Structure 1
Amino acid sequence: MTTASIQTLTRRRVLPVGENGTLWETRSSYGIFELHGMRLRIAVENPAEVLFPTDCGLSLVAALNGDNAPDLRAVNALDIGAGSGLYSVALLAAGAERVTALDINPASAVQTEANVVANGLDAARLHCVTSPLEEYTPDEKFDLVITNPPHLPYDPSYARGDGLETALVARRGGRAVYDSVVERVEVLLAPGGTLLMAHSSLADIPRTVTELTTRGYEAETLEVFEMDIPLLAYAEHKETMLTLLKERRATGRAEFDGSRFTVHALMFRRPGNATGR
């Protein structure tokens, strides 16, 4: 599948302008989403430490309800940038054998485990690791890797140094974690394994697809979502951030229209035979 075809494969699910939480039921400190008919709850005790799940991250969960979604049962999975534990909870509820929740933010481990327990799931099947992705080397490779990388460009004027920044903002024009995942995917993913990624159009989707398909990975778009750029937390610096994004768009490294962008739920399969469990 070519880079061009993967981006035009699926029609967009358009989320309403200016409405938050359209992919789930939200309350002041928690939200409820559905996966395979199960209703699951994600709470965030301190939104300044751990980002409340956004539609960008939830889009991949929504895509996992589709007909082309991979089988999550019995997999040994890695959740990169676990945050509040959204994907860890979803994977365990869907029947994953084990989930490793990796995040650079120590508050993520506490919140992820709390959400796993609150949903009545077996915490013994969860392993939380606090580490930069670049320094993490697992004892064994995973059947499935899932991630929603930070995708907004960094600028010193709005540097925060908190959990919100680590979840939304990344250096290298918003591509730092995407690049790290691509660079280290063979260290993390077993032959025949699956990489699931919520990929923002603000962070050069064609580059990621090209780099992985060149290595022989099979690429598929599960679904495409259109939504607002998450500027609310950076309202004071909106113009600075949009200027950076426009510079990237001018060089073909970002796609958006006004304050609207797309998130592609992408699935990549590593060549080779699955190792078996």
Structure 2
Amino acid sequence: MYAPQEDTDLLAGALSEEPLVPGADVLDVGSGSGALALEAARHGGRVTAVDVSWRAVCATRCNAWRARLPVRVRHGSLFEPVRDLSFDLILANPPYVPAPSGGRAPRGPARAWDAGGDGRLVVDRICREAPALLRPGGVLLMVHSALSDPDRTLAHLRTTGLKAAVTRRRRIPFGPVLRSRADWLRERGLLSAGENDEELVVVRAELPC
């Protein structure tokens, strides 16, 4: 778990544009410190937050208590704790940084950003599993790096029947993680020689009524 970053802010901006009706059911999957869950609660959503990290679960509960906002917090991997529920809005800020992991699953704090050799270890799972939890007219908002192939995300979501598009973009300087593996990313052709910033995107996918 780490403090909210630019990707959280970008996704929060997309959330602010969604016309949430009071009491709409919202899922924040991979909640981290709970920043997005709290923002959805401020917009009137009935929010459930899920994270695989016990530290993140405790942080979200603590932050919700301090803000006096009602957020249900569950411990588990992605959608496992909420399989029997459905939602009007799903928020996802998954790990998405390509990592030279050699096939090993990330451990410790790196679980918050490392996502396999192509950056899609968790993104693909969200694309597969989130549509089944959306109600008709429900929306998935997911943020990830352009290094993780947004076109592939759109294609996956469209094959499940969702209408999907990139609705927000933002370029940011490399943080410590990307700086540390920039040479590896260039060797793989994911970065050009002079590229020192990263594009973040928000994908919005809606299940037709």
Using structure 1 for the length normalisation, give the TM-score: 0.67
Are 2:154 and 1:214 aligned?
Answer: no
Out of 164-173 and 200-209, give the one that drifted further. 164-173
Q: Which of 200, 203, 206 is equivalent to 1:263?
A: 200
Provide the rounded CA distance (Å) in 1 between the counterparts of 2:30 and 2:115.
12
TM-score (norm 2): 0.87
> How far is 1:188 from its partner?
2.1
- AA at the equivalent of 1:262: E
Call closer, same or farther: CA 1:79–1:270 in 2, change over 3 Å. same
Shift of 1:267: 1.1
Aligned 8 A contact 1:80 1:102 in 2 = yes
What are the within-5 Å matches in structure 2 for residues 137-156 of structure 1?
137-156=82-101
* 1:180 equivalent among 110, 120, 125: 125
Structure 2 counterpart of 1:95: 44
Offset of 1:204 from its aligned partner? 0.8
Please report the RMSD computed on the Cα atoms of aligned residues, expressed in angstroms.
Answer: 2.5
Distance 2:122 2:92 in 1: 9
Of 6, 12, 35, which aligns to 1:61? 12
Please give the per-residue CA displacement for 1:101-130, whole angstroms capped at 9, x wherever unaligned. 1111011111001111222223xxx22111
Runs of 4+ in 1 over 3 A off after TM superposition: 134-137, 254-257
Q: Which runs of 5 or more residues in structure 1 are unaligned?
A: 1-49
Given that 2:29 and 2:51 are in contact with CA atoms closer than 8 Å, whether structure 1 keeps it comes out as yes
8 Å Cα contact 2:50-2:75 kept in structure 1: yes
1:118 and 2:66 aligned: yes
Confirm or deny that 1:76 pairs with 2:25: yes
Partner of 2:171: 226
**Deviation digits for residues 113-156 of structure 1 (CA, Å, limit 9, x no counterpart):** 1111222223xxx2211111264442221111101111112334
Whether the aligned pair in 1 keeps the contact of 2:128 and 2:157 (CA below 8 Å) is no
Give the % identical residues.
29
CA contact (8 A) 2:75 2:81 kept: no
Which residue is equivalent to 1:25?
Answer: none
3-state DSSP of counterpart to 1:140: coil
Contact 1:57/1:148 (CA < 8 Å) preserved in 2?
A: yes
The size of the alignment, in residue pairs, is 206
Aligned residues of 2:101 and 2:116 also touching (Cα < 8 A): no
Out of 120, 134, 137, which is 1:192 matched to? 137
